[in-house]
């Protein structure tokens, strides 16, 4: 049987961490990495040792893959799928980890001429949620441990390919969780789109202050983390306009709360402000604890036939879906 290969497109913290998790597993596979930034690719290979080979050419990297993992920004996904849509092997499983799942599925339907597309989102482990790091050198094999691996497969993806995607999430240490793509995108309007728009507005408001240069000198961790979403600036318009009505509803709700907070400050309502702060701190702590335990008593993945992990991920799927003449 031919050599099994996983290609990872995008070698920031997410992509490199996936590579490290695979390398830590018992799987005997070749890991190919691709990134438009060659320096990032060399860092992933030589410094982090998350991949076995860096491939500069996107098409070549895609052609070699039995499993192709895309970790690029949503703003780049359509172009990537256009380029690789007719180049991947017929049996290749394409796992797209970009942030807007309905857009990804629509683009896959338009551009993927072969292969099996599964939209997915690996949720960060609780202990990494607030560290704000995103560089290749920040990669760690347990980035998704004891968290969720959200799955939104294309209707055209064969069941065996979806099974492989489920087990890929398990390999990362995450629990599989099937969700409707429109439902997922709607939920993310509150937790992804709203923080990004707040970052945009807050940074723009502060930089217009006469004391902006001094603020830059003294700004610390709270400001850095609260504006972290601006690192993915090209995603912000896509997120905001994907479901404009939902975005507007969240913005209206936020402005209502900001007006309430402003009123408490204006009226010197220290006790009420303190009580509100304490309540929200408690709720945040509960959320982090729930994330740590990852026990939501929600929908579970469908039962999976028990076989060895290596056979789950590669042997069984490639034998069924790959070249029948492969030896």
DSSP symbols for 288-326? HHHHHHT------PPP-----HHIIIIIHHHHHHS-TT-
pLDDT at residue 11, as a whole number = 97
Q: How far is CA 196 from CA 72, 192, 201, 233, 270, in A?
A: 18, 6, 9, 8, 29
Q: What's the rounded Cα separation, in Å, for the pair 94 and 102? A: 15
What is the dihedral sign for C-alpha 71, 226, 233, 46?
A: negative
Tell whether pTM > 0.75.
yes
pLDDT at residue 320, as a whole number = 40
pLDDT at residue 46, as a whole number = 96
Question: Which among 29, 20, 54, 75 is positioned nearest to 241, based on CA atoms?
Answer: 75
pLDDT at residue 291, as a whole number = 86
Set out the domains of the chain in order of their start, with CATH numbers: 5-179+298-321 (3.40.50.720), 183-267 (1.10.3660.10)
Q: How far is CA 295 from CA 176, 181, 246, 289, 291, in A?
A: 13, 22, 28, 10, 8
Tokens, residue 65:
């893959």
Tokens, residue 294:
């990852």
Phi then psi for 6, rounded to 5 degrees?
-110, 130
Q: Counting beta carbons within 10 angstroms of the beta carbon of residue 255, is it exposed (0 to 12), middle (13 to 18) or buried (19 or more)?
A: exposed
* CB-CB contact of 170 with 147 (8 Å): no
pLDDT by position in tens, the chain (length 327):
344 899 999 999 999 999 999 999 988 999 999 999 999 999 999 999 999 999 999 999 999 999 999 999 999 999 999 999 999 999 999 999 999 999 999 999 999 999 999 999 999 999 998 888 899 999 999 999 999 999 999 999 999 999 999 999 999 999 999 999 999 998 899 999 999 999 999 999 999 989 888 888 888 888 988 999 999 899 999 999 988 999 999 999 999 999 999 999 999 999 999 999 999 999 999 998 888 887 765 544 444 444 444 554 554 544 444 443 333
* CB-CB contact of 316 with 305 (8 Å): no
Phi then psi for 82, rounded to 5 degrees?
-60, -40
Quote the radius of gyration of the chain (alpha carbons, Å).
22
Q: What's the rounded Cα separation, in Å, for the pair 183 and 195? A: 19
Own/partner contacts of 83-86, CB < 8 Å, gap of 24 or more, are: 83/58, 83/59, 84/58, 84/59, 85/111, 85/112, 85/113, 85/114, 85/115, 86/113, 86/114
Strand order, beta sheet including 116-122: 53-54, 30-34, 5-9, 67-70, 93-96, 116-122, 148-153, 175-178
Q: How far is CA 20 from CA 23, 25, 199, in A?
A: 5, 9, 31
């Amino acid at each position: 049987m031919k050599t099994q290969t996983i290609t990872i497109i995008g070698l920031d913290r997410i992509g490199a961490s996936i590579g490290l998790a695979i390398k830590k597993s018992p799987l005997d596979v070749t890991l190919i990495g691709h990134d438009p930034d060659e320096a990032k690719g060399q860092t992933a290979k030589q410094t982090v040792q998350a991949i076995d080979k860096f491939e500069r050419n996107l098409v070549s990297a895609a052609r070699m893959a039995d499993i192709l993992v895309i970790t690029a920004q949503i703003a780049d996904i359509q172009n990537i799928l256009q380029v690789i849509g007719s180049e991947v092997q017929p049996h290749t499983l394409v796992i797209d980890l970009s942030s807007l799942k309905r857009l990804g599925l629509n683009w896959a339907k338009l551009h993927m001429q072969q292969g099996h597309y599964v939209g997915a989102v690996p949720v960060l482990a609780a202990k990494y949620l607030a560290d704000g790091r995103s560089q290749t050198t920040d990669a760690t094999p347990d980035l998704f441990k004891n968290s969720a691996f959200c799955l939104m497969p294309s209707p055209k993806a064969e069941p065996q390919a979806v099974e492989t995607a489920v087990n890929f999430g398990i390999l990362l240490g995450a629990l599989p969780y099937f969700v409707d793509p429109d439902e997922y995108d709607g939920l993310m309007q509150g937790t992804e789109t709203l923080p990004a728009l707040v970052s945009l507005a807050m940074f723009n408001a502060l930089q217009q202050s006469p004391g902006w240069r001094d603020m830059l000198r003294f700004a610390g961790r709270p400001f850095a983390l609260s504006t972290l979403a601006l690192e993915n600036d090209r995603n912000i318009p896509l997120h905001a306009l994907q479901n404009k009505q939902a975005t507007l509803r969240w913005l209206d709700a936020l402005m209502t709360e900001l007006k309430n907070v402003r009123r408490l400050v204006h009226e010197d309502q220290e006790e009420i402000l303190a009580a509100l702060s304490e309540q929200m701190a408690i709720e945040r702590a509960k959320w982090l604890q729930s994330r740590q335990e990852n026990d939501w008593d929600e929908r579970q993945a469908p039962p999976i036939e028990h076989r060895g992990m290596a056979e789950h991920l590669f042997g069984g799927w490639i034998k069924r879906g790959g070249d029948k003449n492969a030896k």
